[in-house]
Amino acid sequence: MVSHYKRAASVLGVLLISCSLVAISGEAAPKKNKAAPKKTAAAKTVGDKRKEASKTAVITKDRVLKEFNAVYKDPPESRKIKATYIGNIRNYTERRGAQEVPAQAHQVALTIKLTDCGITMRDVWEVYFYRLETEWIFLDIMQVGSRQVTRTKKKHPPLKDDEIKKIITDAMTRANPDLRVRGITILGKKGSWRLCVPEFRVTVKIHADLEKIIYNSATAYECLMISTLAHENGKWDQVKISCMYKEQETDDCHIGTMCRELGTVSTVPPVSDDEAARILRNAFGNEYGLKKNNVVVEKFEIIKKDPAENFGTKAPYTVQALFVIDENKIIPGDDYTPRRTEKVRAVYECVVSGYLNYSLSEKKWDGIIESCCPSVTERCGTSCSDTARGCRRLGEK
């Protein structure tokens, strides 16, 4: 019995020792924390430089205002009232030579008064610094915003409707020499101010002709336009004009496509048959061979008018002419009287071919006589000065 208990105690001891060894061998070793890799100087990014600049942001508002006031100069016709530091610090980098260095921009609010019209403006400026080693160096200032605080109490200078029409007409013809403004109707006028500059926004309906020099024609248009007139340097002038096209205002105003076309006419003035006959009759009477022989034109009637040529500047005509000139008639001699010549007044009739030519530079019609022939059935081509060939002799007076 005793030996049986001793054996049981030995087995129990062995089991306890085994369990202790298993527990010791199963316990996990503590994990070591890995150290984060260190950034090298070359691995620093722009973001790192900005953070570094932010940590060393030691620029005071007093210094910002001091640097700003030292550089700022009042523009013409304005007066500084006060400058206020508003902050809104912006960190960035500035290239100085081959190196990028930390930089900062600080905002300053500037209140000024425009002396010409008394309005108050609030401008926003940025003051720039860059860091060299451990010191912040002032760089520059720049305006980044502006807002009008008060309005002027001045009134617009007078501007009559007739003056508006003349200003618009002159401005349009200067911009397009081929445009002829025939009439302007003012539909509306609204005044405003661009800071100290008084302006009127005028809505007009314009009737104008756009000439085509090559074709001697003009196309009539009706346009709806908006003209902006400004009073500067003591006078009113047009600073902008736009078209209303498809119910929208457009600055790129093209009359040929954005206005209503009313029709096309010739720029060459018409000439009546009576006027054409008078001009051609004078030209016929100035023919050298007729003029030197004391010509008297008794009849000169247009019998045919051909279609105009050369874009309306040449108008061909055929005319029936009857005239009297001096002529030396040979009288044969006989046994008692010698052969002699005697001046008579001969009567001739011929068909005259000529045309009217319109001079674009002189703005008038001139008559040109081309040739004469005895009748309408014959082909003309003889000079009218050669009456024996170009005309038919009817007799003497």
Q: What's the pLDDT tens digit per position in 353-396?
A: 999 999 989 999 999 999 999 988 887 889 998 998 999 999 99
Per the listing, tokens 């926003």 go with 124
What letter does residue 40 receive in the DSSP assignment?
A: P
pLDDT-based confidence at 252, cuts 50/70/90?
A: confident
Average pLDDT, integer, range 300-317: 94
Least confident of 29-38, 160-169, 224-233, 321-330: 29-38
Q: Are 160 and 190 in contact (CB under 8 A)?
A: no
Does 46 have pLDDT greater than 60? no
Tell me how far apart the alpha carbons of residues 72 and 340 are, in angstroms, rounded to a whole number.
110
Decide if pLDDT at 137 tops 80: yes
Whole-angstrom distance between the N-terminal and C-terminal Cα of the chain? 194
In tens, the pLDDT along 310-351 reads 999 999 999 999 999 999 888 887 777 788 888 999 999 999
- Domain residue ranges of the chain, discontinuous segments joined by +: 46-148, 161-266, 273-396
Average pLDDT (197-221) is 94
Is residue 15 over pLDDT 50?
no
Token pair of 277 as six digits: 């006959």
**pLDDT given at position 22:** 37
What's residue 321's pLDDT? 95
Q: What is the pLDDT of residues 254-295, one digit of tens each?
A: 898 999 999 999 999 999 999 999 999 999 999 988 889 899
In tens, the pLDDT along 108-135 reads 999 999 998 899 999 999 999 999 888 9
Q: What angle do CA 311, 317, 322 make, to 5 degrees?
A: 160
User: Position of tokens 């051609």?
Assistant: 280
Mean pLDDT of 85-96: 93
Tokens 């010791």 appear where?
24
Nearest-5° angle of CA 392, CA 394, CA 395? 135
* Contact residues for 246 (Cβ-Cβ < 8 A; gap 6+): none
Answer yes or no: is pLDDT of 173 > 60. yes
Determine contact, residues 308/315, Cβ cutoff 8 Å. yes
- Per-residue pLDDT band for 9 (boundaries 50, 70, 90) equals very low
Q: What is the rounded distance in angstroms from the CA atom of residue 342 to the CA atom of residue 330?
A: 6
- What is the reported pLDDT for 378? 80
- 306-342 core/surface letters (b: 16 or more CB in 10 A; e: else): eebeebbbbbbbbbbbbbbbebeeeeeeeeeeeeeee
Question: How large is the average pLDDT for residues 209-217?
Answer: 91
Element (H, E) at 64: helix 61-71
Residue 277, CA atoms < 13 Å, CB-side half-sphere:
14
For the chain, give the number of residues.
397
* pLDDT class of 3 with cuts at 50, 70, 90: very low
Task: Say if residues 350 and 372 touch (Cβ distance below 8 Å).
Answer: yes
What single DSSP character describes residue 156? Answer: P
Give the whole-angstrom CA distance, residue 225 versus residue 207. 11
What per-residue string of b and e applies to 181-192 under the rule 16 or more CB within 10 Å gives b? beebeeeeeeee
* pLDDT given at position 58: 77
Q: Which of 352, 349, 355 is nearest to 371 (CA)?
A: 352
Is the pLDDT at 45 greater than 90, yes or no?
A: no
| pLDDT of amino acid 47 | 54
72-89: average pLDDT = 94
Residue-wise over 76-112: b if at least 16 C-beta within 10 A, else e?
eebeeeebebeeeeebebbeeeeeebbbbbbbbebeb
Residue 51 banded pLDDT, cuts 50, 70, 90: low
H-assigned helices in 158-199: 161-175
Check if the beta carbon of residue 57 is closer than 8 Å to that of residue 134. Answer: no
Q: How far apart are CA 142 and CA 124, in angstroms?
A: 9
Q: What is the mean pLDDT of the chain?
A: 86
Nearest Cα neighbor of 385 from 369, 363, 365 is 369
Scan for tokens 């457009």, then name that residue: 250
Between 13 and 84, where is the model more confident? 84
pLDDT for the residue 156: 93
- Mean pLDDT of the region 217-225: 95
Which residues face 106 on adjacent strands? Answer: 127
**DSSP, res 43:** G
Q: How large a percentage of the chain has pLDDT more than 70? A: 86
Count other C-beta atoms under 10 Å from residue 353's C-beta.
Answer: 21
